[in-house]
Amino acid sequence: MKAAVVGARRVRQGTGEYVARELARRGVDVVAIVGTRPESLAEARANLHERHGIEARGYTSLEDLLGAEEVDLVAICSPIGAHEAQVRAALARGCHVFCEKPLLWRAGSEDDPQGAARNAGVVAALCAESHAAGRLLSLNTQWPFTLSAFDQLHPGVRTKPLERFEMHLGPTRLGAAAMLDSGSHPLSMLWALAGPGRLSQLEVEDAGASGSDDSMTVRCGYEHRAGTAAVCLSLKRCPSPPRPAGYAVNGAAVERRIELPEYRISLVHGDETALVGDPLADAVEDFLTRARAGEPTRTDELVAHATQLHQLVRAAQQATSSHAGALAGEETS
């Protein structure tokens, strides 16, 4: 297989360089990359060559790349606002697509009461395009690939229906932007743990509402086929890596530990530790296995993800706006 990677230069938390590396390690020929400027493109190409032995041609737009190269798959690791157009372009050329989360986000849609339905409709249409082309469209969601390590620490917990799920993360920012970055993580875990479901009774405690400017808590229900799980997502601002993270399933908790510079990942519970294989590597492996086997796009999962992510971001936006309005009222009274 031949691949193109959009956004192969690591800026802040970008994954493109490592997606390219994992594709190459699995026998995929990464023939071309897309960058925003000639200078950054040259840097990305040199970095891929020096660090990973990848010789890739460079383009400043995906359209130009697809017009000049024959590729089987496109990995989209660009900023969120570019995803929709790039996914469309790749599917139109008959490529499998591995896309950073979320699949799409239209600026300002968090202010639209119908935004969840609109986003879900666009995602459903993209999924239909992938089915028509016989190609796989998939999101890069990595947290579910830690569940085998969780099972080592808490054997038997996942054999029972999901009743509670808690997750805590350390994003670099808060508010709607943080939820857009972080919301996909608990959603992917809920799907992996309980299958299809819907969010209910969504409540957000805004950063600052409880006297803290660096935290946000989201509580909701997740109604799935075996019942309703109580969900709690806690976000606490963390400016630099390694960022704290962990989760609990039915009260059985684990913390993620990252050891640098090896970037060795493990889950920890008390004195017990279970090593985690690189979740990004596992996500890429899973995508390639499904693409090579001709598996169809998981439309229901992608549509649910788009719907529920919009619900989370909109709730965070409203909570932040309400708190800001309350502060303004206090200042003027």
Torsion of CA 287, 292, 298, 302, to 10 degrees: 40
User: What residues does each domain of the chain span?
Assistant: 2-100, 143-299+309-323
Residue 204 reports pLDDT greater than 60: yes
Instruction: Note whether 2-100 and 143-299+309-323 share their fold.
Output: no
Share of residues in the chain with pLDDT > 90 (%)? 76
Q: Strand 137-140 relative to strand 164-169: parallel, antiparallel, unpaired?
A: unpaired
The pLDDT tens digits for 239-252 are 777 789 999 999 99
| Measured CA distances, 148 to 151, 262, 280 (Å) | 5, 21, 15
Residue 326 reports pLDDT greater than 90: no
Q: What is the pLDDT of residue 324?
A: 45
143-299+309-323 is a CATH 3.30.1580 domain: no
pTM of the model: 0.91
- The CATH number given to 2-100 is 3.40.50.720
Q: What is the pLDDT of residue 325?
A: 42
